[in-house]
Every structure is written in C-alpha cells, then in structure tokens.
C-alpha cells in the first residue's frame, strides 16, 4: 500500500510487518501487525511517529510520497518511544538533518538513552500547541499508556487524534486502512489480545486517559497499530473503556496443566459441570501448549476463571506458575475463580494457587478440589459441582 490520505493534508505512511513471529519477542502475531505513522503536509511538514527498524525502506518511500514537493520534514512528533515506533529515527535524521523532534521531558530522556539524540529536541508539556499552518497540533500527556513518556497528539483542524498505542490491535492491515474498509469483527479477538498483553496492566491509566480525552471532539482515531477509526471511532473507545474497566463477559476459561492426565480428568469434570449448568461460553487452555498470550486474552475476556495444577517439586506445575505470575503481573482483577489439582506425597500446587487468589482482587468459589495422585469418584463429583457453582456465578 502507498501513502493513504486519512484527512485534509494528512497521510497514513505506515507499514505492515508479516515477518516478525513474536511481538516484543514474546507475543505471537500470526496475523502480522502494522506500525502506523502519519504525515501532515501543511506549510510546515510534521511526521507523527515512525516504524520498526526492519521496515525503513518501505517507510521512507511513503514519507517521500506523502510530503510531495515540499521535500523535507520539519517536525517529528514522538508520541511513544518504544522501538516499534522510534526504531528509524536515527536514519530519518540522516535524510532530514534539520528535523526538529517534538516530545515531552520523558521522551527526551529516552531519545538520549536509546539513540544518543539530544540536539534539536523541542520539549512540550501537557496542552501545548504547535502550529503547522492551517493545522495546529495539541499535545496531551497520557503516561503509562503504554510507557511513561506516552502522549497523544490532537490535530485541532482535522480533529484527528494520533493516539500512540492506545486503541491499537495486533493484525496487519490487509488492504484497507480505515475501519469502514475492513471487517472490524475480524479484529475483535486481536484487539483484546493486544490490549490484555500490552496495555492491560495499565488499565487505570487508560481509564484516566479516557477521562482526560472525553472533552475532545474526535473525528478520527489514528493509532500506531491497526485500522484508522473514522466511521465509528466511538467503537474502539468503548472497547478500550470496557476492557480497561475490567468488565468481563459472562463465560468461563479453564486453564490447566497435566503430566499424566490425572489433573486433566478433573478439568473435564469441571467443564462438564459448567455446561450442565447451562453455560456455553467455556474455553479450555492446556498449558504450556496454549501460549500465555491467548490464556491472558481469555482470562481478560471472561468473568469466570478456573485454574488446575498438578504439584511439582512441592509447588505449582511450572507452566501453570508462569500463568499465575503473568496474571499477577498484569493485575487481573474482579474475577470469580475456582481451583483444583493433584499431588503425590505432599501438597503444594493448589496451596500455591490459593495464595495467588487470596493475594489479588479475586473471589474464590468453593469447593476447592485437591486429589492425591488421581481423583476418586467423589472428588470428580466435586469437580462437577465446582463447574456448576462457578457457571451459576458467571452467567
């Protein structure tokens, strides 16, 4: 795709990345990802954000088209310093040595630390403006959405909000740039996976940012990842509002590990009990076969969460321990949780899970079922009861 006009004098000059397997070397992106950047070609030319270092050639070609006969870029607005957006700044400076970089105090510190850039940096504070001609840009500091320096840039002329990572998603742009050109439903799972994996930990800061931006008259939302929201910008705002408020859907995710299928047998009975109670939205993840990224997405999606673990070295089964640590790290809250598991000669697995639940803003549902080696018929009945109980709470 060449540069695409998204508003008056304003062009998308982003790139698709369908080669990287793991975003941040952690999160699978089988459907790729876009790194979005934008040119505003007014009397002065501003570039909003850049792209990851693996895409410089494609990017600079689009920038050159976007700026046309003006032939230079006057300002680079850096809304976010993570290298998927800042990775080509040095090379951009080689092309446009007079370029002035615009960011806040924390941006300036990161520019120096990442790239040794400290000259020609224009530091802005919350609410400052920059006039390009008919376009005036206004800067809104939105720290921790997703890093401390993150900010958003609002074009007061076109009412486009350049939002950084906020309102972004995994998934390349398959031919269309705008929400009205693509099947937005296709992106929903990836919006949630991106949100839970990347931004979810900072949900309170997302809520704060949403409150701060609520007074702006926004015509389009131009994030750094995924479609530009011009037909229904309120759709992506309401999705981010819901997930950052930790308001899950009715439903249940069961996450379990099993070495010799004894814990797995218990899981089957929990799932059966939930379905017997009338719950259809039941998802099961077997760790480590399910990647943490998808486990986290579904834990963020559903009200009910059941964790099942064998005991391993007197503690939680290591792949399940990784799940628990991740949920703790990402500050998952307000969920209804059930627990089950097995042990051989001493407990430890379920005990560890219980400690996690009791240390978080999570509600534990009884019965907690723990079996020695393999569950008895009575214990399997208790697993079904656990499934029924939690289903009734989350429907």
Distance CA 235, CA 167 (A): 10
Minimum CB separation of residue 84 from ligand FEO in Å reads 4
Q: Which of the ranges 37-45, 76-84, 104-112, 318-326 carries the binding residues for ligand FEO, by CB under 6 A? A: 76-84
Show the 3-state SS of 321-369: HHHHHHHHHCCCCCEEEEEEEEECCCCCHHHHHHHHHHCCCEEECCCCE
Residue with nearest beta carbon to ligand FEO: 82
Minimum CB separation of residue 82 from ligand FEO in Å reads 3
In the list 17, 74, 84, 370, the residue contacting ligand FEO (rule: CB under 6 A) is 84
Q: Which residues contact 269 (CB under 8 A, 6 or more apart)?
A: 375, 380, 381, 383, 384, 387
Within residues 163-182, the interface with ligand FEO by CB under 6 A covers: 165
Q: Which of the ranges 78-86, 188-196, 291-299, 306-314 carries the binding residues for ligand FEO, by CB under 6 A? A: 78-86
In the list 74, 82, 281, 370, the residue contacting ligand FEO (rule: CB under 6 A) is 82
Distance CA 302, CA 248 (A): 5
**Between residues 80 and 285, which has the closer beta carbon with respect to ligand FEO?**
80
Within residues 85-124, the interface with ligand FEO by CB under 6 A covers: 85
Distance CA 369, CA 357 (A): 15
Distance CA 27, CA 285 (A): 16
**Between residues 193 and 225, which has the closer beta carbon with respect to ligand FEO?**
225
Phi and psi at 286, nearest 5°, equal -100, 110
Distance CA 35, CA 372 (A): 51
Minimum CB separation of residue 225 from ligand FEO in Å reads 6
Minimum CB separation of residue 223 from ligand FEO in Å reads 9
Minimum CB separation of residue 178 from ligand FEO in Å reads 20
Return the structure tokens found at 185: 């439903």
**CB-CB contact of 51 with 84 (8 Å):** yes
Quick count: other Cβ atoms within 10 Å of Cβ 156? Answer: 15
Q: Which of the ranges 57-65, 79-87, 245-253, 367-375 carries the binding residues for ligand FEO, by CB under 6 A? A: 79-87
**Between residues 139 and 256, which has the closer beta carbon with respect to ligand FEO?**
139
**193 touches ligand FEO (CB under 6 A):** no
**Between residues 74 and 82, which has the closer beta carbon with respect to ligand FEO?**
82
Phi and psi at 49, nearest 5°, equal 65, 170
> What is the size of the binding site for ligand FEO (CB under 6 A)?
8
**CB-CB contact of 148 with 106 (8 Å):** yes
Within residues 119-148, the interface with ligand FEO by CB under 6 A covers: 146
Q: Which of the ranges 81-89, 251-259, 299-307, 367-375 carries the binding residues for ligand FEO, by CB under 6 A? A: 81-89
Quick count: other Cβ atoms within 10 Å of Cβ 81? Answer: 24
Using CB under 6 A, list all residues that contact ligand FEO: 80, 82, 84-85, 146, 165, 224-225
């Amino acid at each position: 795709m060449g540069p695409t006009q998204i508003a008056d004098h304003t062009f998308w000059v982003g790139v698709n990345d369908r080669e990287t397997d793991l975003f941040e070397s952690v999160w699978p992106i089988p459907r790729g990802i876009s790194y979005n950047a934008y040119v505003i070609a007014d009397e002065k030319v501003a570039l909003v954000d850049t792209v990851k270092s693996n895409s410089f050639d494609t990017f600079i070609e689009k920038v050159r088209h976007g700026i046309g006969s003006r032939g230079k870029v006057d300002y680079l607005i850096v809304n976010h310093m993570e290298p998927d957006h800042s990775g080509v700044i040095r090379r951009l400076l080689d092309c446009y040595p007079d370029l002035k970089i615009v960011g806040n105090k924390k941006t300036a510190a990161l520019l120096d630390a990442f790239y040794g850039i400290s000259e020609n940096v224009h530091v802005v504070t919350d609410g400052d403006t920059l006039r390009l001609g008919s376009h005036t840009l206004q800067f809104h500091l939105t720290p921790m959405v997703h890093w401390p320096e993150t900010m958003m840039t609002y074009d007061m002329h076109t009412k486009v909000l350049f939002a950084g990572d906020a309102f972004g998603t995994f998934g390349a742009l398959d031919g269309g740039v705008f929400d009205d050109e693509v099947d937005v439903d296709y992106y929903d799972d990836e919006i949630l996976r991106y949100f839970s994996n990347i931004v979810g930990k900072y949900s309170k800061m997302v809520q704060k940012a949403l409150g701060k931006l609520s007074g702006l008259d926004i015509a389009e939302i131009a994030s750094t990842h995924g479609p530009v929201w011009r037909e229904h910008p309120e759709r992506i705002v309401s999705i981010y509002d819901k997930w950052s408020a930790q308001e899950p859907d009715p439903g249940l995710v069961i996450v379990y590990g099993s070495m010799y299928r004894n814990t797995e047998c218990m899981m089957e009975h929990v799932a059966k009990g939930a379905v017997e109670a009338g719950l259809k939205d039941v998802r099961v993840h077997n760790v480590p076969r399910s990647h943490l990224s998808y486990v986290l997405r579904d834990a963020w999606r559903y009200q009910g969460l059941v964790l099942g673990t064998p005991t391993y070295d007197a503690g939680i089964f290591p792949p399940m321990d990784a799940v628990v640590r991740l949920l703790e790290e990402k500050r998952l809250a307000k969920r209804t949780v059930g627990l089950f598991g097995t042990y051989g000669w001493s407990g430890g697995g379920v005990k560890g899970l219980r400690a996690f639940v009791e240390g978080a803003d999570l509600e534990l549902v009884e019965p907690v079922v723990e079996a020695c080696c393999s569950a008895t018929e009575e214990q399997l009945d208790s697993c079904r009861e656990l499934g029924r109980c939690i289903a009734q709470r989350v429907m």
